[in-house]
Chain A
Amino acid sequence: MSHPKTAVELARAIASRQISVPEVAEEFLSKQARAAELGVFLNVDADAVRAEATAIQAKLDSGWTSPLAGVPVAVKDNIAVEGQPLTCASKILEGYIPPYSASVTNQLRDAGCLIAGKTNLDEFAMGSSTETSAYQLSRNPWDLTRSPGGSSGGSAAAVAGGITPLSLGSDTGGSIRQPAALTGIVGFKPTYGRVSRYGLVAFASSLDQIGPFGTTVEDVAHLTAAISGHCGHDSTSLPDAKIDISDLKGGSLKGKRFAVPREMMEEGLEDGVRQVVEAAFETLRREGVEIVPVSVPSVKQAVTIYYIIAPAEASSNLGRFDGVRYGPRIEGDGHAGSSASTRGQLFGREVKLRIMTGTYVLSAGYYDAYYRRAQQVRTVMADEFAALHRDFDAVISPTSPTVAFTIGSLSEDPMALKVLDSCTIPANMGGFPAISLNAGLADGLPVGLQLMGPVMGDERILQLAYTVEQVMPKVQLPFG
């Protein structure tokens, strides 16, 4: 197997017997030194990978087919794979082995994908740099001194570094799209409810959504199709959730109208990012797209409402980690003391700060001023975007206002890291689909272009992204 090769090409090579699934597995396992250099995995079970590869090959030999059969997929370590450790990159889950698999894990297996290993993340997916992992740093394949973004940094580095063709991440405020942008690949957050969250460790339940990473929109579309669908284990799963990608390649840009929120082209946007994004707009205009600047005032409050709503939900969701049911326990004075000792010593700094923030904004006297008000602004934001989605074919913006930053450079100023998510948060607040694809390079580093569409408009946004991708500059990924 020689790189670069897309997931679709690899699946085709497997189907035509040019390469066997066990050979694909061995090729993947041979890349572990490079994976370690990039800080991709928290766990790889080589025996399980080999056993799964043999089983998939046997199915293929019996005549079974599937578009992604035999393709390795790395899975973010906040998604349950039965029998494999699940840490959420936290000391509080050290040693925990889930007794069940997430619905997406079962769907990957149904599609014949090879589950490659569990990838590094910011602790409980809280962060934008993968620096808050309790176990290791992840590094950007374009420049090892730089962050791959976060929180799904390990999953992004797996694909951008050529370790696996596909991976899964989770996106609460941009945690798939931002690392995709910073590593020059494609990342997609589907409509909330079209991919089951059963078996995803909850961070902020009303915002979290599992989604795919790949090197092309086509690869990402195939993985999205494989993991979408209604799930009876998830009460927020939508009834008609299956995503149909049969029209993926049938789109055209001629006559399309894209809205650009001015507020996403303002605060903190680096000059290099602006130049690449404006060049992308110019390319789209030449293809017949009308680019219309619009104003979406609530975008300025995106980061604020995220830092109220997400910690509020997290403070409730993380209440289950008390040293009683799973993970290690640190003894203290009685039940309450033991729980406080366990949580105080085993949660990392960022997680504790967010639990404190969430507990405060939900506490008596502050609920109306912060939490309720943030939810009202969320309504305003969702309505503003819904109106744009009715009037335009897509809303388009930079994915991240900066290119990949140096590891450690933003840790002294927590708010500086947090504002990196201002362009991505609205899609989580409104539940609508959004995709990031590469638009070119600024000073040798990738710049992401984000396309957003209406709730349940996943097929439309994937088709548009595929069509846009065809006219964007082709960038060679830094495979080692």
Chain B
Amino acid sequence: MAISFDEVQHVARLARLDLTEQELRVFQGELNALLGHFSDLDEIDVEGIRPRPHAVSLTNVLADDVVVPGLSRDVIFKSAPKSRAGLFVVPIIIEE
């Protein structure tokens, strides 16, 4: 099942990756090569096999609800690309 140029463009949009046309073409080739390799999955019969999402069995663990000091605002905003008055400055999401 080959992946088309339009599909590659669609996947890049879903992944929030702004790619050049040249990059899209390169990735189209590489994704098609990978998908070709993926066909060997069919060699194993997985009928009725439970999918394994994790390496070891996990049970949900709840922490005690104890108040502890968090990181200070100054420390948090030190790494933000833009901040003002104790808030993250982000690009406009909803236009007026």
Residues of chain A whose beta carbon lies under 8 Å from any beta carbon of chain B = 95-100, 191-193, 206-207, 232, 235-236, 238, 297-298, 300-301, 303-305, 307-308, 315, 319, 322-329, 331-332, 334-341, 343-345, 347, 352-353, 355-357, 359-360, 363, 370, 372-380, 382, 414-415, 428-431, 455
Extra contacts, 10 of them, besides A331-B91, A334-B93, A377-B41 (Cβ < 8 A), are A206-B55, A232-B63, A235-B60, A322-B16, A324-B81, A326-B80, A352-B27, A373-B41, A375-B52, A379-B52
> Is B85's CB within 8 Å of the partner chain A?
no
Please report the C-alpha to C-alpha distance between residue A99 and residue B74 in the assembled complex, in whole angstroms: 10
> Is B67's CB within 8 Å of the partner chain A?
no
Please report the C-alpha to C-alpha distance between residue A335 and residue B94 in the assembled complex, in whole angstroms: 9
Contact A305 B51 (CB under 8 A): no
Please report the C-alpha to C-alpha distance between residue A324 and residue B82 in the assembled complex, in whole angstroms: 8
Min Cβ gap A193→B in Å is 6
Contact B71 A347 (CB under 8 A): no
What is the number of residues of chain B that contact chain A, defined by CB distance less than 8 Å?
Answer: 51
Contact A193 B18 (CB under 8 A): no
Given contact pairs A301-B41, A307-B37, A357-B34, A191 touches B71 in the complex (Cβ within 8 A): no
Chain B contacts for A370, CB-based, 8 A: 38, 41
Please report the C-alpha to C-alpha distance between residue A99 and residue B31 in the assembled complex, in whole angstroms: 37
Please report the C-alpha to C-alpha distance between residue A357 and residue B91 in the assembled complex, in whole angstroms: 28
Write out, one digit per residue, whether chain B residues 18-42 have a CB within 8 A of any chain A CB (1) or not (0): 1100010001001101100110110
Min Cβ gap A180→B in Å is 20
Contact B11 A363 (CB under 8 A): yes
Chain A contacts for B14, CB-based, 8 A: 359, 363
Contact B79 A325 (CB under 8 A): yes
Contact A307 B79 (CB under 8 A): no
Contact A97 B3 (CB under 8 A): no
Contact A326 B56 (CB under 8 A): no
Residue of B nearest to A93 (CB): B79
What is the interface of chain B mostly: helix, strand, loop, or mixed?
A: loop
Given contact pairs A334-B91, A336-B16, A343-B16, A380 touches B81 in the complex (Cβ within 8 A): no
Residues of chain B whose beta carbon lies under 8 Å from any beta carbon of chain A = 3, 7-8, 11-19, 23, 27, 30-31, 33-34, 37-38, 40-41, 43-44, 46, 49-56, 58, 60-61, 63, 71, 75-76, 78-82, 88, 90-93, 95
Chain A contacts for B56, CB-based, 8 A: 191-193, 236, 238, 431, 455
Please report the C-alpha to C-alpha distance between residue A150 and residue B47 in the assembled complex, in whole angstroms: 35
CB pairs A–B below 8 angstroms (14 shown): A98-B79, A99-B76, A206-B55, A297-B44, A304-B40, A307-B38, A327-B79, A334-B95, A343-B16, A352-B19, A376-B50, A379-B49, A380-B46, A382-B52
Contact B41 A360 (CB under 8 A): no
Chain B contacts for A373, CB-based, 8 A: 41, 46
Contact B92 A334 (CB under 8 A): yes
Q: Which of these, A96, A307, A377, A415, contacts B44 with CB under 8 Å?
A: A377
Chain B contacts for A327, CB-based, 8 A: 79, 81
Please report the C-alpha to C-alpha distance between residue A329 and residue B81 in the assembled complex, in whole angstroms: 6
